[in-house]
Structures are given as C-alpha cells and as structure tokens.
Chains A and B, each alone.
Chain A
Amino acid sequence: MISEKLIKVAMADLNIASNGEVLKTTGLGSCVGLTLFDPAKRIAGMAHVMLPSSSIARETPLNVAKYADTAIPELIERMVALGASIRAMQAKMAGGAQMFTLPGQTDSLRIGPRNVESCLMKLEQYNIPLLSQDTGGNFGRTIEFSSNDGILTIRSVQHGIKEI
C-alpha cells in the first residue's frame, strides 16, 4: 500500500480515484466515511460526510460534500463522469461513532447514528448495495480505500487494523 498514490479526503470533502490510487480520510468520529466502487472499471470514490441532511444548512454556497443527502449524488456523478456505471457500484462505510455519551443527552446530538441512517437511505434510493460496514461504537477511525480491489482498511486506536 506504500507505493500507491494516496489521495487525501478532508473533513466534509469527497474525491474519486482510479488506476490503483488509494483514498484516505483520517479521524472519523461521528462523521461517516462512505465509499463507492465499480469493480469492473476499478473506479473508487470516498466522501467524508459530517451531517445527515442539507435541509438544516444555513451556509452559502452549500458544501455538498458535507451532507449525506447531497454528497452521495455528487460522488456518483463524478464517478460516472470518469466512466463508472451506477448499476455496478457497491458501497462500504465506516465511522458514525458516538464519541461521548453524556447523561440526559438529547437526540439531536446523536449525529453519528443519524449520519449512518441517512447514508443508508440515500444508497437505497439509488439501489446501490452496501457490502459491509464498520459503524457505531465510541471510537475514532482512519480509513483507506483502494481503487485496485475495493478493500476498505480501517484503523482505530483501540482495535488496531481491520479490512472489510
């Protein structure tokens, strides 16, 4: 994995990769790292989603990569522009943790689980199957996604490295 080109995806950001390039995003807490992959064309995409829905946005211009409901369509569009087929796409995701739990916490603070739910809903709309996920818990994750084989590598402080 060392010799391959790394493409960094920042927080509230998305990017696509091909030709064996590797997408990476660090320090996912309640954010969700969502990946799409076209195995035939070996085109990969990754979004670092921060919030579940753009309906609460008060920013202009809108950063589409930040919200689950706008990031996924944008990611699909960019992969299709590169030659990927939406019908071939497969999804994986990681993150969506609840980093801190305080007594008496209101539902609005459950951002992690809500990010996951929102991503799932959007994938369903596009009929993109979710192959695997590593979500929830109360810990941070750093992920790498290879456009060579569509393997998602997840690293966390407490649980080491795993591949899904």
Chain B
Amino acid sequence: MTNFNRFEAFELDVLKEVGNIGAGNAATALSTLLNKPVDMSVPSVRLLPFEQVAERVGGSEQTVIAVFLRVEGDVPGNMFFIMQKHYALQLMSQLLPGEHVMDGTYTELEMSMLCEIGNILAGSYLSSLADFTKLQLHPSVPVVAHDMAGAILSYGIMQYGEMGDSALLIETSFLEDCKSLEGHFFLIPDPNSFEKIFRALGVGLE
C-alpha cells in the first residue's frame, strides 16, 4: 500500500502534471463553448483532512452544482466538476443569452444542460489524460447533483476512510474574466491507483 504521507516532491509534481494535462484541455473546451478566454490555475495536489475537502469549494454546507463521473479502467477513481451556485447561473446565462434564469431551483432542462457541460469538460479532461498516458480510462455516464458540497465530495473520498482521515485530491480550477466564472475539477484516484499513474508517467516505483 502506498504511503500517502510520504510522497516525494517529484511524485507530487507528477500528479500535478496529471491535473495540468487534463484541465488544460478542459479549459480549452470551455473557452470554445463560451467563445472567451479562460484561465486555469496551477494544479494543487494535496492530502487533505476530510473536514477540509469541502472548504475548497466554499465549505461543507455550500450549495453547489456537481457533475460526477466514476472512472473505471487502469486507474479507477472519482471525477467531479463543481461550481458554486452563482457561477452555475452565470454560466447558464452566458450560454443561453436572453433566457431568464432563476436563482434557487433549477428546471430539468437547466440541470441537464449543466450535466452536459460538466460531461464535456470532464470528458475532455479524462480523454487528454488517457491520450497522454496511454492509460485506459472508462468514465461512467455523468450524474449531476444540486446539493451541499460536503455531502457530494464525501461520496468521492469514501475509499480513503478505512485508511485514515485524509484523502488525496488533484484539483484544478478555472477562472474567466476576473472571477465572473469559476469552476473546480477534482480527480480523486482510488488509493490503489497511484502506482499505475506513476508508472504510466515514467516514474518507476520498485
């Protein structure tokens, strides 16, 4: 079993590169959708205590829109695309100009649109990662939820529960136009997936 507390600096760099490759392509996809430049943050790779995981998107109780894909194949894991509610509204009003988008509840059409956007972005994240690493990644159909960040993200870190009180997350955020739009990608590889990721990127683990 890999010991997460003892990842070397270069191993963390490898995982950051994973976030970079994936989110870089996803940001390009979003930029094409919006017809606007989209900036991406430097990926962060951290072993976070459970309690702090949801802080990344505004805290455990923060209402967010999340698109979830379960990834099977060579490196099983969980993939989330998460936006805070007001950014999701922003995104919809930019994609559906002229439509009156209400705060609060979402229609089925709006949820399905957000799900599809998340699917396009997460899909381009995963496919560029698969191309680069030659790993087989099979994402599930996407599922969308409008709920508390803590409840959503805890689903993705369950597998870490039996090993300790923290989980390893590869996070990349994108920003558009001075923070008028912000979204977060979280790739949470299953604890057993790290060896394969390292090997695929040319870092030998004996």
Report which A residues bind B (CB closer than 8 A).
Answer: 10-13, 26-31, 50-51, 56-59, 63, 66, 97, 99-103, 111, 138-142, 156-158
Our pick among B143, B148, B158 for the contact of A157 (Cβ within 8 Å) is B148
**B151–A11 touching, CB < 8 Å:** no
**A31–B154 touching, CB < 8 Å:** yes
| A97 surroundings in chain B (CB, below 8 A) | 151
| B50 surroundings in chain A (CB, below 8 A) | 10-12, 50
Report which B residues bind A (CB closer than 8 A).
Answer: 1, 50-51, 54, 59-61, 63, 68, 70, 140-141, 143, 145-152, 154-155, 158, 161-165
| B150 surroundings in chain A (CB, below 8 A) | 11, 26-29, 140
**A27–B60 touching, CB < 8 Å:** yes
**B161–A27 touching, CB < 8 Å:** no
**A139–B140 touching, CB < 8 Å:** no
**B161–A12 touching, CB < 8 Å:** yes
Roughly how many angstroms separate A51 CA and B164 CA in the complex, as a whole number? 12
Instruction: With A103-B141, A111-B158 as known contacts, state yes or no: A59 contacts B151, CB within 8 Å.
Output: no
Taking the closest CB of chain B, its distance from the CB of A62, in whole angstroms, is 10
Our pick among B51, B54, B68 for the contact of A100 (Cβ within 8 Å) is B68
**B70–A102 touching, CB < 8 Å:** yes
A-side interface mostly: loop
**B152–A58 touching, CB < 8 Å:** no
Select from chain B the residue with minimum beta-carbon distance to A30.
B155
| B1 surroundings in chain A (CB, below 8 A) | 58
Select from chain B the residue with minimum beta-carbon distance to A53.
B162
Question: Residue among A12, A51, A56 with the most chain B CB within 10 A?
Answer: A12
Taking the closest CB of chain A, its distance from the CB of B99, in whole angstroms, is 23
The 3 closest A-B pairs by CB, nearest first: A27-B150, A140-B151, A29-B151
**B61–A142 touching, CB < 8 Å:** yes
Taking the closest CB of chain A, its distance from the CB of B107, in whole angstroms, is 14
Roughly how many angstroms separate A46 CA and B163 CA in the complex, as a whole number? 23
Taking the closest CB of chain B, its distance from the CB of A103, in whole angstroms, is 7
Select from chain A the residue with minimum beta-carbon distance to B147.
A140
Taking the closest CB of chain B, its distance from the CB of A31, in whole angstroms, is 6
Select from chain B the residue with minimum beta-carbon distance to A155.
B61
Roughly how many angstroms separate A57 CA and B51 CA in the complex, as a whole number? 19
Taking the closest CB of chain B, its distance from the CB of A98, in whole angstroms, is 9
Roughly how many angstroms separate A57 CA and B160 CA in the complex, as a whole number? 10
Taking the closest CB of chain B, its distance from the CB of A67, in whole angstroms, is 9
